[in-house]
Structure formats: C-alpha cells, structure tokens
Chain A
Amino acid sequence: MSQRPALLLILLALPAGVVFLAFFLLPMARLVLIGASGEDGAAAYLSVLTTPRHLESMIATVLLSLAVTLAAVAVSTVAGVFLVRHRFPGRSTLVSLLTFPLAFPGVVIGFLVILLAGRQGLVGEVTKALTGDKMVFAYSMAGLFVGYLYFSIPRVILTVMAAAEKLDPSLEEAARSLGAPPWRVVADVILPALKPGLIASGAICFATSMGAFGTAFTLATNIDVLPMTIYTEFTLSANIAGAASLSVVLGLVTWAALALARNLSGSTVAAAG
C-alpha cells in the first residue's frame, strides 16, 4: 500500500520535474557559468559595481523601482481599502476597471504612455491648449515611471483588496467602541493588519519593475534601465558573458527582494504575475 502510491507520485511529478530541470535549472546554471567566462572571469559579477555605465543603470533601475513601488502601494491602498469598505452603485465596475489591465504586456503599456504623454499625446495637447507649451515626458524617466505605475496598480490593488477583505470587521468595531476616531482606526488597526499584504505586494511590484523590459523597449530613447542595458550588451555589443552576468545579478536582486518580503511579512509572498 505504501510502496505504490510513492511510485505513482513520482510518476505524476516527473514530467514537470524534467521540463524544469532541462529548461530552467540547467540553463540557469549555464548562464551563471557563462557570466564568468568573459575576459574578467568571475569578476564580471562585480561589473555592475565597477563599470560606471552598469552601476548607473543599476542605481537608476533600483530608484525607479522603489519610487514606483511606493507610489503604487500608496495609491492602491487608498483605492483598495475604500472599495472594500464601501458598497455603492457602480462599485463593481470600478473594481473591474482597476484590475483589468492586469495582463497587458509591457510593450502595450509603453505604447499607451506614448499616446498619453508622447509627441502627439493627450497631455501634450491639453497643456498646449492651456499654457501654450507642449508637455512631452513619455520618453524620459517620468514616462517610464507612469508606465510602470500603470502595470503595477492592478496587481497591488488586487492584493490589497484581498487582504482588506480578510480583515475581521469586529477589530475595527472594537477600536471604535474604545473611543478611537476614524483616523486612529486606520492607523492603529487597519494599516497594521494590512502590513503583511502591503509588504508582499510591494515586493512583487519592486521585482516586476526591476525586470520589466517591454515598456522601456517601446519608450526606447536613451533610458538605461538594467534590462535595456542587458539587451544592448547582448544584441549590439554581442557581449554575451556581460549580458549573462548582469542577468544573473538582476535575477538575484529580484529574488532577494521577494525572499526578504516573505521573511518580513511572515507569509507566502504570492507573486501575482
């Protein structure tokens, strides 16, 4: 009885295991080796610190990702908690609108930013009509920020809403029965209860922003976020070892962000795409 199920379980898990081993673990291991195969050897892994261009790119990417994470978590918390705590006509439409860009790929979002703030963008037309000056920021860091915010909000809002729905309403009632005014209920009860969810969704947001490629690719002009740097190294400079080492470093950073968040929030960080 105990022998056969074990065998069955192995058989059931085998296909996924083989695919993973052959197409993920093995290639990743190879990538790590190739990263160290350039002229600099294993020191290539320090290039992100020693090569000024790579360091700048890394710093810019981290700062951008941090800013996007903070903004997305703040915006989503306000809107998400509001939507969970109130019932009103049109609420479910709002929820749908806020979450449906969830699976838009980065390239498309880049294009949307161009339509919004590009050379013929809406913002440009409006500011031209108002002030006479055309405001165009799609191809700058601000454009990237807007694009990243666009794809982060739906993900973070889903996590925040899921966490807020799990809140025990009697916690809030207990605080009120003890005399706490609304802002104290938020500060003392609601935010602490949401904290694990906020940390988790913030970490996912950060990791996704660090690795995002499509948006930067579409907006292109002279922005060096790390994925773009890797892409340039690989295609234009044919520096495969350099691209590999940078990819490995990037992967380590995003993985570490998620692992750290999991330790902080004490729960499984569910990366929501």
Chain B
Amino acid sequence: MRRGKLFHLQLAFTLAVCTFLIVPVILSVLAGVTVNYFQGLSSGLTLRWLGEVWALYSETIFLSLLIAVVCLAVNLMIGVPAAYVLARKGGRLARALEEIIVLPIAIPGLAIALALIVTYGGFRDFRTGWSFILVGHVLYTLPFMVRSVLAVLHSVNFRELEESAASLGASFVQRFRDVILPNVKPGILAGSLMTFTLSIGEFNLTWMLHTPVTKTLPVGLADSYASMRLEVASAYTLIFFVMIVPLLIAMQAMSRRR
C-alpha cells in the first residue's frame, strides 16, 4: 500500500495522543524515585520515598487487595448465574432486568454512595467496617461481570449446546458444569480481571463509604495528594501502577485473543 502524506499526518497525530497519555505517567514514576523532584534527576535516585509510603500506607494496599478478592468472589457467585438466567430467559423481562443491573454504571458513584449511606448509615457496625465498601464495589462491578459473561453466552449459541447435552442425558447440574461453564470461561475470565481491576482503582464510591480505619489504596492516594510532599505521593502512585498495570496488560492480552 502506498503511504502518502495523509498516513504520516495521522501517524504523527496518533503518536501525539500517545505522548499525552504516557508522559504524565513517566513523570510520576520519575518523581517517585527522585531524591528531590524540584531539583530534578540530578539530585539522585532513591527508594526512600517508597519506604516511607510502605510505612505509612501499606495497610491501604492490603485492604484494597482483600476487598478486590472478596468482591471478585461475590461477583462469581452471584453474577455468573445471573448472567446465565438473563441469557436463558430472553424476552422483554430479561432485557428490562439487564437494564436495571447495568444502572450502577449509568448512575454516578457519588449518588449510589449517598443512597447507601442514607439507608444503612445507621447500622454502626456495618457502616464502619470494610464490608460497607465491599457492597459499593460489588454494585459497581457486577454489571461488568454480567455483561462480559452475557456477551460470550450469546456468541456460543449455548442453548443448542445445552440442548444437545440434554439429549445425551445430562442433568441440569451436569450441563451447567460440563458444557456451559467451560464454554463461557473466556467471559468469566475477562469479567474477573475487569472486576478485580475496577475494585482496586475504585474511588468515587469508596471516598464516601470509607472511614478513617477503612482506607483503601485510592483513598490513601487522595490523602497523600492532599497532604504529602510530591515525591511521596508519586512513590505511592508508582506502587499503584505496579499493581494495576499487569492487570491491564492481562486484560488487553485477553481481549486480543478473543
């Protein structure tokens, strides 16, 4: 194919967009390992800030991981069966239900968080524990799990698979375990990665739902942005990147394979 001026113009534009997205990330990583960012790199590299972050905020990291794992487990237990039922039922009712189940994406996290607080804020133990944050995360991530599984279910013609398994004498449990689950595995995997990643990074809901003793990673980040020196905030952000970038890369690899 001949590549004229238009090709190079578009390439330059695309590269510019890439630069816009990647430069701030590089700045942040550098700032996190520089002795003094205002003096620049010449002041030397250090791991001191990372150490400080660990001392101050390591609990937020563990709490975020804990919530993400439990959130994923809940999604698998309630989201996958729900997706199957939605695909199986079809028709207007199922579409209406699907509509409702994806509402938490359409409605700002702030509104959902407020709704949870005004309804359950009075239950002190619940309000002050991390399960309160978990509830928010489950609401926010469930639509992604359901839709990811639904998409694969629709693409594999599962009804026919299931009917042929039934014609061979498989019971419902056997069909679900031997035919449905293996075939929707890509959707479950993609949904799981998405759920986990979104939970780790969730802020809009979490900021409203957290208490001083239940701070997650993004809450800690906001805290450090407001009160810590730039190097510490950057080092903290660096830790966040290290956690989330492998998940994003895995997500990209999965979507490419499909």
Residues of A within 8 A of B (CB): 4-5, 8-9, 12-13, 15-17, 19-20, 23-28, 30-31, 34, 75, 78-79, 82-83, 86, 88, 94, 96-108, 110-116, 120, 122, 150, 153-154, 182, 207, 210-214, 217-218, 220, 227, 230-231, 234, 240, 243-244, 247-248, 250-251, 254-255, 258, 270-271, 273
Query: Please, how many angstroms separate the alpha-carbon atoms of A255 and B99 in the complex?
Result: 11
Quote the shortest CB–CB distance from A162 to chain B (angstroms). Answer: 9
> Does residue B10 face the partner (Cβ distance < 8 Å to A)?
yes
Q: Is the CB of A122 within 8 A of B14?
A: no
The answer for the CA separation of A24 and B77 in the assembled complex, in Å, is 18
Stretch touching chain A among B41-49, B50-58, B182-190, B247-255: B247-255
The distance from the CB of A77 to the nearest CB of chain B, in whole angstroms, is 11
Given contacts A16-B142, A240-B118, contact A116 B27 (CB under 8 A): yes
Q: How far is the CA of A191 from the CA of B101 in the complex (A)?
A: 32
Q: Is the interface of B mostly helix, strand, loop or mixed?
A: helix
Q: A78-B13, A182-B6 are in contact. Are A16 and B203 (CB under 8 A)?
A: no
Q: Which of B111, B147, B221, B226 has the most CB of A within 10 A?
A: B111
Residue of chain A at shortest CB distance from B119: A27
Tell me the residues in window 203-228 of chain B with beta carbons closer than 8 Å to chain A beta carbons: 203-204, 207-208, 218, 221-222, 225-226
Is B79 touching A247 in the complex (CB atoms < 8 A)?
no
A107 touching B244 in the complex, CB below 8 Å, given contacts A15-B81, A211-B110: no
Cβ contact of A97, chosen from B21, B100, B118, B208, cutoff 8 A:
B21
Q: How far does the Cβ of B36 sit from chain A's closest Cβ, in whole Å?
A: 11
Mark B residues whose CB is within 8 Å of A. Answer: 1, 6-7, 10-11, 13-15, 17-18, 20-25, 27-28, 31, 37-38, 74, 77-79, 81-82, 84-86, 88-89, 100-112, 114-116, 118-120, 135, 138-139, 142-144, 146-147, 172, 194, 197-198, 200-204, 207-208, 218, 221-222, 225-226, 230, 233-234, 237, 240, 244-245, 247-249, 251-252
Cross-chain contact B230 with A120 (CB below 8 angstroms)? yes
| Best-surrounded residue of A9, A111, A230, A251 (most CB of chain B within 10 A) | A111
